[in-house]
């Protein structure tokens, strides 16, 4: 679990969460989270899974630093699900432009990318 604590800290800060915020979302104490971030403790598998879920990364990424990130539906915000649903519906309808994306499809994609980069 080399750099495990640093990854948690970096991901937490990138999402604008305090230790208290993240600890509450995961259901652990702030001091436990502090211990994990400082590599003074190792969470249980269930806690590590919850941390990964809240931080929107795969457990592999959190533990090993793998670059693959898996996004599950439960990780998505309602707005993101709505945008993805709209895009699927829009793409499934013929655009009359062959394989080119319509301006509405392009707009939806741009909004989805913006949502996921937050």
Mean pLDDT of the chain: 82
Rounded to whole angstroms, how far apart are CA atoms 23 and 90? 39
Q: Indicate the pTM of the whole model.
A: 0.57
Is CATH 1.10.260.40 the right assignment for the domain spanning 4-72? yes
Give the tens place of pLDDT for each residue, 30-71: 999 999 999 898 899 899 999 999 998 888 888 888 665 556
* Sign of the alpha-carbon torsion through 89, 92, 95, 99: positive
């Amino acid at each position: 679990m080399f750099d495990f604590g640093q990854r948690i800290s970096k991901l937490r800060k990138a999402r604008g969460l305090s230790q208290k915020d993240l600890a509450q979302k995961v259901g652990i104490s702030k001091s436990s989270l502090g211990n994990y971030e400082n590599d003074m403790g190792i969470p249980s598998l269930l806690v590590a899974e919850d941390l990964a879920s809240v931080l929107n990364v795969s457990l592999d990424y959190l533990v090993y630093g793998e670059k693959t990130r898996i996004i599950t539906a439960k990780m998505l915000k309602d707005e993101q699900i709505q945008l993805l649903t709209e895009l699927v519906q829009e793409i499934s309808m013929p655009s009359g432009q062959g394989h080119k994306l319509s301006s509405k499809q392009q707009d939806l994609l741009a909004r989805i990318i913006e949502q996921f980069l937050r």
